[in-house]
Amino acid sequence: MAQPGGRVGARTATGERARSSSSLRLPRLVLFDRDGTLLHDVPYNGNPDRVEPVPGAAEALGRLRERGIATGIVSNQSGVARGLLTRDDVEAVGARIDQLLGPFDTWQYCPHAADDGCGCRKPAPGMVLAAAAEVGVPPRECAVVGDIGSDVSAALAAGARPILVPTTVTRAEEVAAAPEVARDLGEAVDLLLGERR
C-alpha cells in the first residue's frame, strides 16, 4: 500500500451530464474511494473483521479487470493523524480488502488530517497523480469513482474522469455539481465501459 510522500509497503445514469470526448475512451486505470464506495463505511475502521464490501463491488471490479483495466484505491485515512488508527491498522484492513476484492494495481492513502496542508488528501489530486504514476498511466486516462464531492474534486484537479455514486452522506449540491452520477457501482462501470443494461 503506498501513500504520496513515501512507501508504506509493497502492495443512462441518474443525473448523467453530457460527456466530453475524453470520457468516451475506455480508462486504463479506475481508482475507487474505499469507505462508502467499495465498502460499507465504518468510521476510522482498523479492524479487518469489520470490512464489508457493498453489494456489487466484486462484480464491478471483475468487469473492469476482464477488460484489462487496472484498478486501485485512493483513501483519506485521517484517523492515523488523529491517533485513532495506526499505519499497521490501515495495512491490516487493506490486506482484508485485497482478500475480498483484490488484487489492486495500486493502493494510495493519505494519513493526514484536514488541516495538515498536505497535497495528497482529497480533494487535492496527490493520490490520484501518485496512483497514475505508479501504474504508468497518464491521469487523463484514469477515472475516479467515489461517493462525495472531494472524490470528484480530486479527479478533476488531476485531470481524471470523476463518477459520483451517491450514498446517504452525499450532499445534494455534490450531486448537482458532479459531471457524471451513477446509482451504484454497476452503473458506474456501465458508464466507464460505454455500456447500457
Enzyme catalytic residues: 33, 35
What is the SS3 assignment for 163? strand
Query: How far apart are the C-alpha atoms of 32 and 196, rounded to whole Å?
Result: 21
Q: Which three cell numbers stand for residue 186?
A: 454497476
* Amino acid identity, position 153: S
Cβ 55 vs Cβ 61: under 8 Å: no
Whether the ω angle into residue 103 lies within 30 degrees of 0, i.e. cis, is yes
